[in-house]
Amino acid sequence: MGNYKKIGLRKSYLIFGAPDVGEREIAEVVDSLKSGWLSTGKKVAIFESMVSKRLGVKYAKALNSCTAGLHLSLIAAGIKRGDEVITTPLTFAATANVIVHVGAKPVFVDVDRITGNIDPRLAEHAITKKTRAIIPVHLYGRPCEMDEIIDIGRTFKLKIIEDAAHAFGATYKGKPIGSIGDFTCFSFYVTKNLVTGEGGMVTTNNKKAASLIEQYGLHGMSRGAWKRYSDHGFKHYTIEVPGYKYNMMDIQAGMGIVQLGRFNQMQKRRSAIWKRYLKELSNLPIILPPSVPDYMTHALHLFTILVKSERDKIVHALHNEGIGTGIHFLSLHIHPYYRKTFGYKRKDFPNALYISDRTISLPLSSKLTDRDVSDVVAAVRKVIAYYS
């Protein structure tokens, strides 16, 4: 086959997942800096209210990450040492790590090979007397089959904690993701569809759980403790639970407020890029993202391709062409900690492994120009042709 020769299409490197941040977001951050109120304050409350209204859910609690949201959702759900929580191995480490952090055991079940999402039938078969919750992951922004998962939860009295790090803006049978399970956790990390730099959100319709998440997210302080330094005068706080430092800052929330106002526009751009990729990469020997049924709206977070072989060499060649890519994900069951701690073997989850060995995520951001997209397409076509 010989050595791959660089095409040299780009002079500058195309960063994977570059955030679409403009002058309005910058102005909002500057406003926070000038106001002197940088940490949790009024902008966080406004952002929470906007998300709650958009998703049609009673409570939305802003935090510093989706990881924090998953952790606090498990705590609010009463998951404790010795319990079991069913989830997928085809996800970011945080999904399973937080289960370990509360002393519970992550129980992996395989995914559907086409969608990459958890297989509800396998999840039901994995339930034991110790099972207390299921964490479905809306991988790439494609909703899981929530009717089946909710039915399982009701039948076996399990909490459903949705990992929607990829899925802000997705819908399932007319319902926004964020309004279906007991808890839904979103990420607003720098690569996500809606960006606050770092940040996350938990949505729920459970008033008591929402209050617990708010308290645990700010050291366990009494509700509304962030107001103690406001112009209403100093107020003492009390520690009611042993909490964490998980709060979102007003600086971040200000970005979120602007991003939420632009969200529909940004999604239209992502959709246009998605359609171009589907059209212009359709004749290559790769597997493209599958279509979704009419009752779903895909969040269009990650455009992933599955290659037949030489995945790492393809990623390296694209890098040399100035095209950043991602791998979502190396299945958790093959990582050293989960393999050694829980005894998982490489072939335990064949569908997750199949995707894990072949997946490449292409650049997808509303910031991409038409020329950027053309460069990605040209590089992928050239590199795939060489390694096929």
- Do residues 360 and 235 share a domain? no
CA torsion sign, 304 to 310 to 312 to 317? negative
Is residue 120 domain-shared with residue 224, that is, in the same domain?
Answer: yes
Any domain includes 138: yes
92 preceded by cis ω (within 30°)?
no
Tell me how many domains the chain contains. Answer: 2
- Side-chain half-sphere of 210: how many Cα atoms within 13 Å? 16
User: In 96-158, where do the E strands start and end?
Assistant: 105-108, 131-135
Whether 75 and 192 share a structural domain: yes
Domain shared by 250 and 281, yes or no: no
Are 203 and 279 contained in the same domain? no
- Ramachandran bin of 233, using left for φ above 0, alpha for ψ from -120 to 50, beta for the remaining angles: left
* Domain final residue pick, 224, 259, 294: 259
Retrieve residue 340's tokens. Answer: 């050694």
The pLDDT tens digits of the residues spanning 140-156 come to 999 999 999 999 999 99
3-state secondary structure of 162: strand
Instruction: Give the model's pLDDT for residue 226.
Output: 56
Query: Cα–Cα distance between 388 and 383 in angstroms, integer?
Result: 9
- Please report the pLDDT score of residue 335 as a whole number: 98
Print burial letters for 123-155: b (CB count within 10 Å at least 16), e (below 16): bbebbeeebbbbbbbbbbbbbbbbebbbebbee
Is 108 part of any domain?
yes
* pLDDT computed for residue 340 by the predictor: 97
Q: Is residue 164 part of a domain?
A: yes
Domain extent for 241: 23-259
Kindly state whether residues 137 and 240 are assigned to the same domain. yes
Contact 113, 351 (CB under 8 A): yes
Question: 272 burial class (0-12, 13-18, 19+ CB within 10 angstroms)?
Answer: middle
Report in angstroms the alpha-carbon separations of 265 from 55, 193, 262.
17, 11, 5
CA distance 211 to 256: 22
* Residue 315: other Cβ atoms inside 10 A: 19
Whether residue 358 sits in one domain with residue 314: yes
How far apart CA 175 and CA 9 sit, in angstroms, is 43
Residues of the chain with pLDDT under 50: none
DSSP 189: B
**Percent of the residues in the chain that have a pLDDT greater than 70, as a whole number:** 96
**Are residues 287 and 367 located together in one domain of the fold?**
yes
Q: Among 220, 237, 259, which residue terminates a domain? A: 259
First to last CA, the chain: 10
Do 209 and 353 lie in one domain? The reply is: no
Residue 212, exposed/middle/buried by CB under 10 A (0-12, 13-18, 19+)? buried
In a domain, 150, yes or no: yes
Residue-by-residue DSSP string for 200-225:
EEEEES-HHHHHHHHHHTBTTBPTTG
Residue 182 confidence (pLDDT): 98
Rounded CA-CA distance 336/351 in Å is 19
Note whether residue 127 is domain-resident: yes
Point out the domain boundary residue: 230, 259, 288: 259
* 267 and 250 fall within a common domain: no
Cβ-proximal residues to 312 (8 Å cutoff; 6+ apart), any chain: none
Q: In this predicted structure, what is the pLDDT of residue 10?
A: 86
- For residue 11, what pLDDT is reported? 87
Token reading at 387: 């390694």
CATH number, position 144: 3.40.640.10
CATH number at residue 269: 3.90.1150.10
Catalytic annotation present for 275 = no
Catalytic residue among 6, 192, 207, 275: 192
What is the Rg, in whole angstroms, of the alpha carbon atoms belonging to the chain?
21
Q: Which residues contact 272 (CB under 8 A, 6 or more apart)?
A: none
Residue 238 is predicted with a pLDDT of 85
d(CA 194, CA 62): 13
Task: Read off the pTM.
Answer: 0.96
Inside any domain, residue 76: yes
What is the Cα–Cα distance from 90 to 141, expressed in whole angstroms? 13
* pLDDT at residue number 6: 79
φ, ψ dihedrals at 14, nearest 5°: -90, 105
CA distance 374 to 379: 9
CA distance 131 to 127: 6
Which tokens belong to 65? 């990450």
